[in-house]
């Protein structure tokens, strides 16, 4: 198998991870989905850099992932597109511009997962304001009092949660980088156990259908008045301190602000930004039409690969099965 074919398949897996893995983990109610999706991106970017001789491969793969993400899930939230772009850009800088090949996977994991953690914290703070963190402190102290545990300690539980949350992401990022470094050797040692002739690509593929809707709220006076009021309330909530001493009013303002920001984001800002992004990706989709077509043509083979790997891994259970499954997947993709 040529390196270009392996890189194409790694790009497919990265695109699947960004487009579907998060939704799957949400459906299974697994917490910290961003940690797993970001960790997977670190591994795929590192492997693309390792097996590619072309310095622009990471940027090209990033663009293809964004295009596939746009085709498969066109209404993905904008922060998700931005995260993919930042992952690819940081990977390109570390592996090619700074040429830190040996330490780049670990640095990439540390930087991207730390950024992911602080991005979530920033979104919560913008949405709810500092009242959100103050409410967490009050709630935790209330719970401790119910169990007759003294809560008079001078501890900000919300900041403690933030520290733990960021630490978990940093640890996950570093672990992802270490795994990425080990995979090439892992593949070489495991390759003799794979019989590629057992894998038969399936001939059928699924067609993605997209339905688009448009709502012109701005053509109505009521819509303009509503968003003007919402914007006024948001500005007021951040600039006035008149209600700082009244907790119920602060919480009410927090809820009103979060609802207002959500509505303005999804109904006003996001649609226009997504349209702008769609124009860019549509132009690039035409430019990379051959690569996109090749990726979709490889989907049946990738489906067969994953099915085969899952069947072969059933000799183990739990974590052992997941590890064996991933072993088969990466060996089949990366084996020469």
Give per-residue pLDDT as tens, 143-155.
667 665 655 666 6
Q: Are 157 and 140 in contact (CB under 8 A)?
A: yes
Q: What is the domain count for the chain? A: 1
Check residue 216 and give its pLDDT: 53
Question: Does the pLDDT at position 206 exceed 50?
Answer: no
Residue 19 forms part of a structural domain: yes
Residue 246 forms part of a structural domain: no
pLDDT in tens, 224-255: 555 555 555 555 555 555 445 555 566 566 66
**DSSP annotation string for 124-142:** HHHHH-HHHHHHHHHHHHH
Residue 148 forms part of a structural domain: yes
Residue 265 forms part of a structural domain: no
> How many CA atoms lie less than 13 Å away from 138 in the CB half-sphere?
9
Q: Would you place residue 58 in the very low, low, confident or very high pLDDT band (cuts 50, 70, 90)?
A: very high
Check residue 3 and give its pLDDT: 74
Residue 321 forms part of a structural domain: yes
Check residue 238 and give its pLDDT: 52
Check residue 197 and give its pLDDT: 65
Q: Are 105 and 46 in contact (CB under 8 A)?
A: yes
Residue 319 forms part of a structural domain: yes
Report the share of the chain in percent with pLDDT over 70: 62
Residue 219 forms part of a structural domain: no
Distance CA 6, CA 38 (A): 21
- Global pTM reads 0.71
- Range of 149's domain? 3-213+278-334
Higher-confidence position of 264 and 49: 49
Q: Would you place residue 205 in the very low, low, confident or very high pLDDT band (cuts 50, 70, 90)?
A: very low
Q: Going by C-beta distance under 8 Å and a sequence separation of 6 or more, which residues neighbour residue 127?
A: 257, 258, 261, 262
Task: State the average pLDDT over residues 284-294.
Answer: 75
Residue 222 forms part of a structural domain: no
């Amino acid at each position: 198998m040529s390196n270009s074919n392996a890189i194409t398949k790694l790009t497919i897996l990265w695109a699947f991870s960004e487009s579907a893995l998060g939704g799957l983990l949400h459906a299974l109610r697994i917490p910290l989905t961003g940690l797993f999706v970001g960790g997977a991106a670190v591994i795929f970017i590192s492997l693309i850099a390792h097996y590619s001789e072309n310095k622009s491969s990471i940027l090209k793969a990033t663009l293809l992932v964004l295009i596939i993400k746009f085709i498969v899930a066109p209404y993905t939230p904008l922060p998700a597109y931005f995260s993919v772009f930042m992952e690819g850009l940081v990977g390109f800088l570390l592996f090619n511009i700074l040429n830190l090949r040996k330490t780049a996977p670990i640095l990439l994991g540390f930087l991207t997962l730390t950024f992911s953690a602080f991005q979530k914290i920033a979104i919560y703070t913008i949405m709810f304001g500092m009242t959100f963190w103050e409410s967490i402190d009050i709630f935790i102290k209330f719970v401790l009092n119910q169990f007759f545990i003294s809560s008079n300690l001078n501890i900000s539980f919300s900041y403690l949660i933030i520290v733990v949350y960021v630490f978990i992401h940093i640890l996950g990022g570093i672990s992802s980088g270490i795994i990425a470094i080990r995979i090439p050797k892992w593949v070489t040692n495991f390759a003799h156990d794979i019989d590629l002739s057992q894998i038969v690509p399936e001939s059928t593929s699924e067609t993605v259908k997209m339905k688009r809707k448009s709502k012109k709220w701005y053509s109505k006076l009521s819509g303009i008045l509503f968003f003007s009021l919402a914007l006024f309330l948001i500005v007021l909530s951040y600039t006035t301190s008149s209600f700082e001493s009244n907790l119920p009013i602060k919480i009410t303002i927090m809820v009103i602000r979060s609802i207002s920001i959500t509505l303005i984001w999804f109904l006003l800002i996001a649609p226009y930004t997504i349209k702008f992004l769609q124009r860019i990706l549509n132009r690039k989709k035409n430019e990379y039409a051959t690569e996109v077509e090749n990726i979709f043509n490889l989907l049946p083979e990738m489906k067969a690969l994953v099915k085969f790997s899952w069947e072969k891994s059933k000799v183990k259970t739990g974590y052992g099965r997941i590890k064996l499954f991933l072993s088969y997947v990466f060996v089949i993709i990366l084996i020469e």
